[in-house]
Structure 1
Amino acid sequence: MPAPVIVDAARTPYGKRGGVLASWHPAELLGLAQADLCKRAGIDPAEIGEIIGGCVTQAGEQAGHIVRTAWLHAGLPEETGATTIDAQCGSAQQSVHLVAAQIAAGAIDAGLACGVEAMSRVPLRANIGEGIGSPRPDSWAIDLPAQYEAADRIARRRGFTRAEIDAFGLRSQQRARAAWDAGRLDRQILPVPTADGGTMTVDEGLRETSMSALAGLRPILGDGLHTAGTASQISDGASAALLVEEGRARAIGLRPRARILAHCLVGAEPRYLLDGPVRAAERLLDRTGTTIADFDLFEVNEAFAAVPMSFARAHDVDPEKLNVNGGAIAVGHPVGSSGIRLLATIIDELERRDQTLGLVAVCAGGAMATGAVIERI
């Protein structure tokens, strides 16, 4: 059976809302990630059998099959097939899963997974147009809350206090700053040219903060527990990952870095919307016969602080193994792109520590979550 391996995974720096990347059309930004990753990995783009990419808000500049538009606009081979998907915040990670499955099925020998979201230019929910109805029928009776309410429900479910949530937000910023200062995130970055002739190589979302500063922020909801300091940032960015059949990779001189031992897209409890990483891990542990103690590192997307906190409490995860280089609270969350950022982060960190096994999970709209077990080669 063909064996897919991950050869490389990287992303653009993430721009803050209205920041440096707000001037980039999302197809240009994604095309840069697609082309530059192929160049960096040392693969001829003609080898790529198919591209699968995620984008959540497929409207306006992100409509009309953005994965294909970006590929063609970047001057890449017209023969390459392309698919654009929406698995909400799990879109980029699910793109990796689908490319891996295409290789394992023998349909292609090499594929590119990717993701993009230009949230400054195409806001969330911009694809819900006027005068064409609601996504939910009038008979809808499922308790599926807005993300802010869901985050607070998760926090109350697990018994987290506002101070504990603020402490997690502070930790994310501190860990991300330390990671950047130590150069631990450099490898995952695909530089982006800027309008002034320079190059953007660092995330814009990093900010100095403290427990007292976080304590002074108003909750997103009136009686809520999360604030702007403990929620993911609205961001712009793109990402890409190259997967190749292992024998083919070695034949053309590419070094495999990791393999996916198991992956999933699961449905979660609608009432809690974002608590899906807990269930995704349960599925992955069952399918691989592993335990939490077998894992060296965990990357769980910080949509809100309560999401990785809930994952850690439910599975008794050592906080020193969880999001060790910070997360979306600090660096940002361009929703269609983030899953590959987590993948790149965990592969780089496993290599740096000379460790082997990692778990990546992303909560997603519609009460879903993506998850994968990653083994460094």
Structure 2
Amino acid sequence: MKKAVIVNAKRTVIGKKNGMLRDYPPEKLASYVIRNLVKDIDEPVDDIVFGNAVGPGGNIARLSALESGQPYQTPGITIDRQCGSGLEAIRLACHLIQGGAGDIFIAGGVESTSTSPFKCRARFSPEHIGDPDMGIAAENVAEKYGITREMQDEFARLSYMRAYASLSKGYFSDELVQIEGIPMRDEGLKPNLNYERMLKRVPPSFKKNGTVTAGNSCGINDGAAAVLVMSEEKARELNVKPVLRFVDSTVIGTDPNFPATGPIPAVSNILAKNNLSVEDIDLIEINEAFAVKVALFSRTFSISYDKINPEGGAIALGHPYGASGAILVTRLFHEVKRYFPDLMLSAIGIGGGLGIAILWERIS
């Protein structure tokens, strides 16, 4: 069986809804990332796999391939696993390589909430089971598992501080592609804002006397991210240096009323499949749609925040739904070069009650 490796990973800046990327439809955002990933390889891409959640519908991956100037022969497939779509795209590309379906793939995700034609979200679950909006669902988890506002604000503050430190050190510049006329800085991060004061003052967003606030939740955002995936043999043939090797993946369902719990069974499953314990994992990138998700995950596995999102995450930077899973892997790709972890996880919890986890190993 072939082994899939990540040889490059890039993203656009993350913009706020109706913010600096408001005039860029999803295929345009994706095209900047695709062009950057293929510029140094002379061989054709076998397929482009992109995730997308809020429209406009159609095959955005193929549209993006054409928009980016790829040959007509380069196909594209668009998948929707809601906010896990970008991670699912990478998962699928890795398994396609394992199965011998090709040697070079671009996989990732894109979202333009600013240009989405849909006023309301799609249904996540039948009403007779329960189909809460994500904010209420986060409140459900906080109440059921006793995750206090103080616990959520503690992690949110960490996300902001880490993201600001990473910005100051120039870490994000490694990840970013240039869009002409757009600053090379994520729009949601405001270095001059007193986040400590903001977290204390902001009221609950979804429920009276609730614990989930605009401060300890992600924003609504635009952006794109993708990785260049190859078989290990092809990377050697092209003399390209791989950084991450795909080990295994899992996807699992959970109660749609508590979607923030999704990463817990997904990570439990992948650890058991590979005879690992959480102590064997050196670094985890998990989507911070809500701080309650990360606080519960950390407590369940008795894992320190030191191993989770060391350079900040979606609370500080934003959550462009279809792209977020690919942003996790892009961040991991560049963090590996700084921290030298051996085993890593990327994981995401999804509306409708789903969890995805991918296990990676560093290629030394």
What are the within-5 Å matches in structure 2 for residues 305-344 of structure 1? 305-344=291-330
1:232 positional shift: 0.8
Partner of 2:204: 219
Q: Indicate if the aligned counterparts of 1:4 and 1:243 stay in contact, CA closer than 8 A.
A: yes
Distance 1:95 1:323, change over 3 A: same
Q: How far is the alpha carbon of 1:274 from its aligned partner? A: 2.0
Partner of 1:131: none
Aligned partner letter, 1:210: Y
- Could you tell me which residue of structure 1 aligns to residue 84 of structure 2? 90
User: CA offset at residue 156 of structure 1?
Assistant: 2.1
Contact kept? 2:33, 2:224, Cα under 8 Å: yes
Which moved further from structure 2: 99-108 or 142-151?
142-151
What are the within-5 Å matches in structure 2 for residues 147-162 of structure 1?
Answer: 147-162=134-149
Q: CA deviation at 1:239?
A: 0.7
The answer for the alignment partner of 1:13 in structure 2 is: 13
Q: Is the 8 A contact 2:2 2:97 kept in 1?
A: yes
Residue ranges of structure 2 left out of the alignment (5+ in a row): none
Tell me the matched-pair count: 360
- DSSP-derived class of the 1:30 partner: helix
Match of 1:43 among 32, 41, 44: 41
Q: Does 1:203 align with 2:186?
A: yes
Return closer, same or farther for 1:336/1:125 CA change in 2, 3 Å cut-off: farther
Q: How far 1:164 sits from its partner (Å)?
A: 2.0
Deviation at 1:126, TM superposition (A): 4.7
Preserved CA contact (<8 Å) 1:49 1:80? yes
Contact 1:350 1:357 in 2 (8 A): no
Asked if 1:77 corresponds to 2:60, the answer is no
Question: In the alignment, does 2:174 pair up with 1:187?
Answer: yes
Could you say what secondary structure the match of 2:21 adopts? helix
- Find the counterpart in structure 2 of residue 298 from structure 1: 284
Q: TM-score, with normalisation over the residues of structure 1?
A: 0.91
Deviation, 1:271, is 2.6
Shift of residue 20, structure 1, vs aligned partner: 1.3
8 Å contact kept, 2:104–2:228: yes
User: Are 1:57 and 1:125, in contact at CA under 8 Å, matched by a contact in 2?
Assistant: no
Distance in 1 separating the partners of 2:111 and 2:38: 20
- For residue 235 of structure 2, what is the amino acid of its counterpart? A
What's the counterpart of residue 34 of structure 1? 34
**Gapped regions of structure 1 (runs ≥ 5):** 129-133
Question: By how many angstroms is 1:135 displaced?
Answer: 7.8
2-structure distance, mates of 1:26, 1:261: 30
Indicate if the aligned counterparts of 1:350 and 1:358 stay in contact, CA closer than 8 A: no
Residue range with higher mean Cα deviation, 12-21 or 83-92: 12-21
Q: How far off is 1:71 after superposition? A: 0.8
Taking the aligned partners of 2:16 and 2:136, their CA distance within structure 1 comes to 24
Picking from 40, 51, 55, the partner of 1:58 is: 55
> Does the Cα contact within 8 Å between 2:65 and 2:75 map onto a contact in 1?
no
Q: Secondary structure at the match of 2:260?
A: coil
Distance 1:242 1:135, change over 3 A: closer
Q: Displacement of 1:160 after TM fit?
A: 2.0
Q: CA RMSD in A?
A: 1.7
Q: Quote the sequence identity (%).
A: 34
AA in 2 matched with 1:49? D
Cα gap change, 1:322/1:124 in structure 2, threshold over 3 Å: closer, same or farther?
A: farther
Q: How far does the alpha carbon of each residue in 1:62-90 deviate from its partner, in whole angstroms, 9 at most, with x for none?
A: x2211111111221111112110000111
Q: Show the 5 A alignment for 1:220-299.
A: 220-221=205-206, 222-299=208-285
Structure-2 change in CA distance of 1:259 and 1:232 (3 Å) = same
Contact 1:230-1:329 within 8 A present in 2 as well: yes
Question: How does the TM-score come out when normalised to structure 2?
Answer: 0.95
Matches of 2:145 and 2:172 in 1, distance apart? 31
**Residue pair 2:217, 2:288 contacting (<8 A) in 1 also:** yes
